[in-house]
Amino acid sequence: MSQGVGSARISSLRSSHLILSFILALAFTAILFAQPASSAQVNIAWNPVATQVAGYEVYYGPSTRNYTSSMDVGNETAATLQDLSASTYYIAITYYTDSGAQSGFSPELVIYPLTSSAGAGGTISPSGTFFRAQGASQTFTITPSAGYTTASVQVDGKPAGAVGSYTLTGISAPHTITATFAASFAGYNITATAGSNGSISSSGSITVPSGGSLTFTISPNTGYSVGSVVVDGKNAGAVTSYTFSDVKTDHTISANFAQNVYTITASAGAGGSISPSGARSVKYGASQSYTITPSIGHSVSTVLVDGKNMGPVTSYNFNSVTASHTISATFIQDTYTIASSAGIGGSISPSGTQILSYGTSKMFAITPTADHKIADVTADGVSVGAVTKYTFSDVSANHTIAASFRTVGQASQPIADAGPDQTVATGTVVTLDGSNSTDAGGLGMKSFQWTQLGGTPVTLANAGAVQTTFTAPSVQGALLFQLTAIDIDGKKSSSTCIVNAVLNDMPPEANAGSDQTVRSGYFAFVTLDGSKSSDPNGKISSYLWQQIDGPAVTLYNARSPEPCFAALQVGTGTVSLSFMLTVTNKFGLKSTDICFVNVTDLGSPPHAVVAPPEQAGVGSIVQLDGSGSMPSTGIASFRWHQQSGAPVILSDPISATPTFMAIDGGPSGNALAFRLIVKNKVGMRSRATEVVFVH
């Protein structure tokens, strides 16, 4: 035998174009005698090549095409490979001719070592170390001696049971097989059982040889734990494995299981409660609900679940519980606002917005200036009389308070306010609200009366109340209503509003143009300008100008966009005239706007200034602001009127800074427009509009 393949020979092999045309034998035989692996040998044979062959060479090594040994066997077609170690071998054959030409390698034959052994008390056949070809099968027979039984058979270290034979099929790697035996007369039974919701390995009755050992594994199902393991009637604890060692008698082992139980601990801080509270046991997979309830005057601040903030929720559910949890709730005391304001001629203290905790009280003092007296005080829009003090007790909601004053000796001046023009869908419920009517210098309003002046007739729910409702007709069109207010002194005032009931169309938008100032005592025509009025559906169908107050003038072309009148008609001195423009579109829907013409020879009119458009949340207190009107020392009066949107109640319509609570406008929309009219000490007027968007 030649050890190693020479480089010259390998070069010759690789350059040859001869074809090895023989087939290796599909089976080969290893030495079947028990002998050390180092001396193992293999007999191989092959079919001769159908051509003139001088001889064959056998190559073999530990990996494919890596041949570390070779053997020239002449013209024999069989060979014995000796002194093989217990590892895998790859074998290939070449042949050569008398001329020295050598073929390429044959397909490889792969052989794997198989090692079998038996302990005392029996045999395994075949035994020792031998080789088998890749893909072959090998059957081993295990035979116990008299008085013994097969205890176990292990293949590659894994138990195969106490079998009498074992077959390796499709061999593709080295293998070992060992057999052990036990005296048949010294075996003991161990009986293993498990309750529901878990298992014990090797359950049933198992025979263990005298002095042997056996380990059991106890496995609970998901959501369960080992409750107890009882060995020979004694509790061995909630163990997950148990070993019987040096067995000398029969034994029993049984396992019981319990459903996992987790603890949810609930707690609440001051100002509220959580139910259920304390520690509560919950089984695996079950659910538990909690209700968080603030005490009166408190709100939920935070709810922490396992340390994570869930927000100010009032309930929480633990679903399919698989672990212990904690839940805790904290609370905060509720706070409310009281917005106070005072008109010209006095003060209220404290003024502005006050923040109060639930259940507390707040007193307000109303003080007129030396030349004024208290005309009225309203709390949440309702008159409480000309009081000098007013207290909100046990506060549990937002409030407003407003004080108005009149000059000593001043007569009452009731002003009716029919509320904003509204646009609503046909068939909806509409509210008319005259709550912003005022009686400056008087003792308050005595009565109200609503009258429908135009449009499809509707039925008012309570025509004699300050607020009334009706259902908009099913046909599209404009409805005109008049509110007449009578104060305690018997003086009257009237105001109108328009409600447009719409299907798919929208009303026009009236624009009466800018306020104007002209010199008195001179003959000049003043032209009013409504040409910037518009209609989303197309063209304005009609215009109507009407004088509201001031010295009467004759309007020329009062049904045109731009009528005029002669300024000389008003005489000399200072007067302020107001005009209202009503525009109608082709669907009969209407809109109004006003403008002022100040006729004077005493300087400039005042300049109304309001806050820019703002956003407000539903339920919040909003303050309108006309305090920037100029000149600040020359303003004699303020008057706010809501032009559009859902009607709201102003705390004091004749204050520079009244407040109101923002509401959801519903069908009337959430854009609220408020017109401020300011008058100076000589009677000239100016206007501006503030818009609030409620969300």
**pLDDT tens for residues 642-651?**
999 999 999 9
The mean of the pLDDT values for the chain is 89
Domain end marker among 91, 107, 123 = 107
Higher-confidence residue of 507 and 525: namely 507
Q: Of 255-259, 483-487, 598-602, 671-675, which range is least confident?
A: 598-602
> What pLDDT, on a 0 to 100 scale, did the predictor assign at position 441?
66
> What pLDDT, on a 0 to 100 scale, did the predictor assign at position 372?
87
Q: Are residues 377 and 467 in the same domain?
A: no
Q: Are residues 425 and 497 in the same domain?
A: yes
Is 668 a domain residue? yes
> What pLDDT, on a 0 to 100 scale, did the predictor assign at position 667?
57
> 354, 340 in Cβ contact below 8 A?
yes
Q: Band of the pLDDT at 90, cuts 50, 70, 90?
A: very high
Mean pLDDT, residues 30-56: 67
69's enclosing H/E stretch is strand 69-74
Mean pLDDT, residues 117-141: 94
Is 643 a domain residue? yes
Both structure tokens of 524: 């000049």
- What pLDDT digit, counting tens, does each position of 453-490 carry? 999 999 999 999 999 999 999 999 999 999 999 987 78
Residue 12 has pLDDT above 60, yes or no: no
DSSP state letters, 655-678: SSS-EEE----GGG-SEEEEEEEE
Residue 4 has pLDDT above 70, yes or no: no
Both structure tokens of 49: 């090549």
545's enclosing H/E stretch is strand 540-549
Q: Are residues 11 and 103 in the same domain?
A: yes
Residue 251 has pLDDT above 50, yes or no: yes
User: Exposure pattern of 438-469 as b/e (b: 16+ CB <10 Å)?
Assistant: bbbbbebbeebbbebeebbebeeeebebbbbe
Number of H helices, E strands in the chain: 1, 59
Residue 493 has pLDDT above 50, yes or no: yes
- What pLDDT digit, counting tens, does each position of 432-450 carry? 999 999 987 666 788 999 9
Higher-confidence residue of 215 and 29: namely 215
> What pLDDT, on a 0 to 100 scale, did the predictor assign at position 568?
66
Tell which residue, 44, 33, 55, 54, has the closest CA to residue 90.
Answer: 44
- Backbone φ and ψ of 39, nearest 5°: -110, 15
Is 93 a domain residue? yes
Instruction: Name the percent of the chain lying above pLDDT 70.
Output: 91
Q: Are residues 102 and 123 in the same domain?
A: no
Q: Band of the pLDDT at 512, cuts 50, 70, 90?
A: very high
> What pLDDT, on a 0 to 100 scale, did the predictor assign at position 86?
65
Residue 49 has pLDDT above 90, yes or no: no
Mean pLDDT, residues 589-614: 91
Range of the domain at 623: 614-694
Is 609 a domain residue? no
Q: Are residues 329 and 340 in the same domain?
A: no
Q: Are residues 590 and 544 in the same domain?
A: yes
- Backbone φ and ψ of 58, nearest 5°: -110, 130
Domain end marker among 390, 406, 422 = 406
> What pLDDT, on a 0 to 100 scale, did the predictor assign at position 488?
78
Q: Strands (DSSP E) along 396-488, which ranges? A: 399-407, 413-415, 422-425, 429-433, 438-440, 445-454, 467-471, 477-487
> 498, 580 in Cβ contact below 8 A?
no
Is 442 a domain residue? yes
Separation between Cα atoms, residue 695 and residue 691, nearest integer Å: 13
Both structure tokens of 469: 């409702």
> What pLDDT, on a 0 to 100 scale, did the predictor assign at position 381?
85
Q: Of 116-130, 268-282, 313-327, 664-678, which range is least confident?
A: 664-678
> What pLDDT, on a 0 to 100 scale, did the predictor assign at position 199?
96
Separation between Cα atoms, residue 466 and residue 485, nearest integer Å: 9
Tell which residue, 673, 549, 559, has the closest CA to residue 611.
Answer: 673
Domain end marker among 54, 72, 107 = 107
Q: Are residues 580 and 647 in the same domain?
A: no
> What pLDDT, on a 0 to 100 scale, did the predictor assign at position 578?
96
DSSP state letters, 93-157: EEEE-TTS-B--PPPPEEEEEEEEEE-TTEEEES-EEEEEETT--EEEEEEEPTTEEEEEEEETT
Q: Of 77-91, 378-392, 402-416, 654-668, which range is least confident?
A: 402-416
Is 151 a domain residue? yes
384's enclosing H/E stretch is strand 382-385
How many separate domains does the chain show? 8
Separation between Cα atoms, residue 395 and residue 336, nearest integer Å: 8
Is 18 a domain residue? yes
Q: What is the DSSP letter of 13?
A: H
Q: Strands (DSSP E) along 245-313, which ranges? A: 251-259, 261-268, 272-275, 278-283, 288-294, 298-305, 308-309
Mean pLDDT, residues 114-131: 94
Strands 516-519 and 29-30: unpaired
Q: Are residues 162 and 129 in the same domain?
A: yes
Instruction: Name the percent of the chain lying above pLDDT 90.
Output: 74
Separation between Cα atoms, residue 253 and residue 355, nearest integer Å: 73
Residue 310 has pLDDT above 90, yes or no: yes
Phi-psi region of 557 (alpha: psi -120 to 50; beta: other; left: phi over 0): left
Q: Are residues 206 and 218 in the same domain?
A: yes
> What pLDDT, on a 0 to 100 scale, did the predictor assign at position 632?
66
> What pLDDT, on a 0 to 100 scale, did the predictor assign at position 634?
79
Is 509 a domain residue? no
Both structure tokens of 453: 């002046």
Tell which residue, 499, 498, 508, has the closest CA to residue 538.
Answer: 508
Mean pLDDT, residues 283-309: 96
Q: Are residues 103 and 119 in the same domain?
A: no
Q: Residue 240 carries which side chain, given as an amino acid letter?
A: T
Question: Which CATH number does the domain housing residue 444 bear?
Answer: 2.60.40.10
Q: Are residues 90 and 100 in the same domain?
A: yes
Q: Are residues 577 and 622 in the same domain?
A: no
Both structure tokens of 151: 């205890």
14's enclosing H/E stretch is helix 7-15
